[in-house]
Amino acid sequence: MGIAERRLAMFDALLSGRGLQGLVDAAAEVFGNPVAVTDMDLAMVAMSSELADDPEWTANAREFETNDSFRGAE
């Protein structure tokens, strides 16, 4: 997939109305890697579908979200 096709895929995802989840899934396909999006507090906002289907990864993501040491809290 060339750069023009990748750009078009991302633009189509943006206009598709599938929201952030659609953009994340499209980005994972375009980049060939899983994608996760967190907010400023490092809470998971969206993750590519392949990650959501992986029980080990989702368990690690939940652990990451609940561990205050990742956020700089003491």
What range does the domain containing 34 cover?
3-71
For 17-34, write each residue's pLDDT tens digit. Answer: 889 999 999 999 998 888
Instruction: Say what the pLDDT of residue 68 is.
Output: 60
Query: Which pair of structure tokens corresponds to residue 7?
Result: 């750009």
CA distance 40 to 6: 27
Domain count, the chain: 1
Q: Which residues of the chain fall below pLDDT 50?
A: none
Instruction: Say what the pLDDT of residue 58 is.
Output: 75
CA distance 3 to 74: 44
Residues 59, 63, 65, 69, Cα dihedral to 10°? -160
Q: Rounded to two decimals, what is the model's pTM?
A: 0.69
Instruction: Say what the pLDDT of residue 24 is.
Output: 92
